[in-house]
Amino acid sequence: MRRWIEFFKHIIFGGRDKDGQPVKNVKSTLFKLVALALIGVALLAGNRFFSGNSQDHKPTARQVFSNNDSKNLSDIKSNIGNNSMTSIEKYESYVNQNLKNILEQIQGVSDVSVMVTFASTEKKIYQNNVKTQDNQTSETDQKGGKREVNQRNEDSEVVMIDQNGNKVPVVIGKEQPTVRGVIVVAKGADQPTTKVQVMEAVSTVLDIPTYKVKVLEKNE
């Protein structure tokens, strides 16, 4: 280490004569400048080398948050969006889409938009346990006349079953929501014959009277 220090001192301060005085000449000065420049380049290169090695160990954004993580996050958001829809909204969407598909197959009808509104939500039909009791009595009036009185009593209760430690009713069916009205907007609906066909088709599919169906021509 001492030899290196003496070497750099010799380069920077130059040589000395027998009396210890520095020797001044042009070549020595030029040599000092070149040596200092080389030392600066060497220090700069070393700094970049060590800083580059340290950056190689830093995790990139892709390593921290992988493509699989992104996909899982997208799936979670998608499931949340699907679960946010109520049963009546899903049923409305199902009816609207299927009604649109069938109406567009009618000759002269195209570019159909459908809106179905419901007066009630879907109702569940529960299984009931009905108990019937018949009572028959005989009565005699003051004149000696007799008559028989028949009486029937019915007691109904919903059948319950155990599910995961909880009592839940037994569902045997579902009653679809009651349709309040339907609006159909389509190209070709300005023709009287076509309008009647559309109204009758909607009436048949949804089992509603034709006065609950409004058919309009779509703007160009």
Class of domain 86-122+176-217: alpha beta
Q: What proportion of the chain, given as a percentage, has pLDDT over 70? A: 60
pLDDT above 60 (res 196): yes
Q: Which among 52-61, 90-99, 114-123, 208-217 has the top mean pLDDT?
A: 208-217
Q: Taking Cα atoms as reference points, which of 179, 200, 186 lies closest to residue 100?
A: 186
Domain boundaries, the chain: 2-56, 86-122+176-217, 124-173
Burial class (CB in 10 A: 0-12, 13-18, 19+), 213: buried
**With 70 as the cut, is the pLDDT of residue 124 above it?**
yes
- Angle made by CA atoms 140, 145, 148, in degrees to the nearest 5: 60
Q: Residues with Cβ < 8 Å from 181, sequence gap 6 or more?
A: 116, 117, 212, 213, 214
Distance CA 155, CA 128 (A): 10
Residue 13 has pLDDT above 80, yes or no: no
Specify the pLDDT at position 78.
42
The pairing of strands 146-158 and 123-126 is: unpaired
pLDDT in tens, 36-94: 666 666 666 666 655 555 444 443 333 333 444 344 434 433 443 444 456 677 878 88
Global confidence as pTM: 0.44
Q: What does the pLDDT read at residue 198?
A: 92
pLDDT, tens digit, 9 for 90 and up, residues 145-194? 778 878 888 888 888 888 888 888 888 887 777 888 999 999 999 999 99
Distances (CA, A) of 111 to 42, 53, 97, 184, 186: 75, 64, 12, 10, 6
pLDDT tens readout for residues 129-149: 888 888 888 877 777 777 887
**Spatial distance between the Cα atoms of 99 and 201, rounded to a whole number of angstroms:** 9
| Max Cα distance, the chain (Å) | 167
Question: Does the pLDDT at position 98 exceed 80?
Answer: yes
